[in-house]
Chain A
């Protein structure tokens, strides 16, 4: 299965801890997008990355959130000092080229902050 992979699927963190979410794009895809879905809402764009570059982080909260997509390995979304309001489903999507409109989503990571 060469689909987008995300892990972990479920993550429970206590307030103040760090959450680290991983995303491996589809084979051949070098563009990664992260989205967040709060309960009963649509998905909201967070950040767009290419290998070793952050292209657009206009949807990322200014503090505590960071993302990277290293030359080797998965893309990582890191949330430091989590708060209850960070509880959400975090989805990663990938596409093969910047000009490609279709994005293919992973199964998501459901973060619960207790």
Chain B
């Protein structure tokens, strides 16, 4: 049974810092992995999707990596800004068309 864990649960950094959010999964036979952002009281915004055959994906200041053999993914945020403050969720999918299995998220606070 797939389980997804995110560490740390909360993170506070000053503006401008580069930071890494960690995600681990127990079953390495994943189909893909998706990173989301959730602002308080809002829905989920998809940030990056990494297919199982890919090692990383980039979008602007965000870079997500995937290492299936070690069961890990990281989300790298460069030059953090106060607007990056939100909860970041990692979710793994075991097969095409199946549901996502979520971690409990990392709540990021970036201070100006």
Do A and B form a real pair?
A: no
